[in-house]
Amino acid sequence: MVAGRAGGEVMVRSPGRFTEISQDECLELMATTTVGWLAFVDAEGQQLLPVNFVLHGQDVYFRTMSGSAISSLADGHDDVAFAVDHHDDIYQKGWDVMARGTTARVDDPDLVAQVAAGARPRPWAPGERDVLIVLRPSVISGRRVRRQ
């Protein structure tokens, strides 16, 4: 990192580099993990919440409890972002993938059963989750970053 000061500003140049990830590889990377972040605005303002998820095709499924902040997404939300990442501090490289789209409640019994069958591992967080929500991405993007 080269840092210099000029007129109260700091200029930083990093030798790292980005590599864009194809959509297929984004989906493969998403499938390697089970915890992601959900970002959306509700009546309380900007929300940013960790969530256990299951990927099914290109769609992201997550369960929540009635009355939770996330459960409002079951009523339909037209602009929700979801992201997962992995960063290795030892090798100083990582990746992140972001999906953005709309959400809806899932009621179709066959789909509920399919998602439940594929739901491994079980959520770490406690509580009963009786609402199944799907995020259908309109955009999926990702990148690898390494420091050198």
| DSSP element (H, E) containing 141 | strand 131-146
Nearer to its own copies, 75 or 130 (CB): 130
Shortest distance, CB of residue 22 to its own copies, whole angstroms?
19
Nearer to its own copies, 75 or 79 (CB): 79
CA distances from 66 to 1, 70, 73, 114, 127 (A): 48, 9, 11, 21, 11
Q: Which residues bind its own copies (CB under 8 A)?
A: 1, 3, 5, 8-18, 35, 37, 39-41, 45-50, 63, 79-83, 85, 87, 92-94, 96, 98, 100, 107-109, 112-113, 115-116, 119, 122-132, 145-147
Closest CA relative to residue 84, chosen from 70, 94, 93: 94
* Least separation in angstroms between CB 121 and its own copies: 8
Cβ 59 to its own copies shortest distance, Å: 16
End-to-end CA distance of the chain: 11
Name which of 27 and 129 has its Cβ closer to its own copies: 129
Which residues are CB-neighbours of 22 under 8 A, at least 6 positions away?
Answer: none
Q: What is the DSSP letter of 121?
A: S
Residue with tokens 């955009």: 139
Q: How far is the CB of 46 from its own copies (least distance, A)?
A: 5
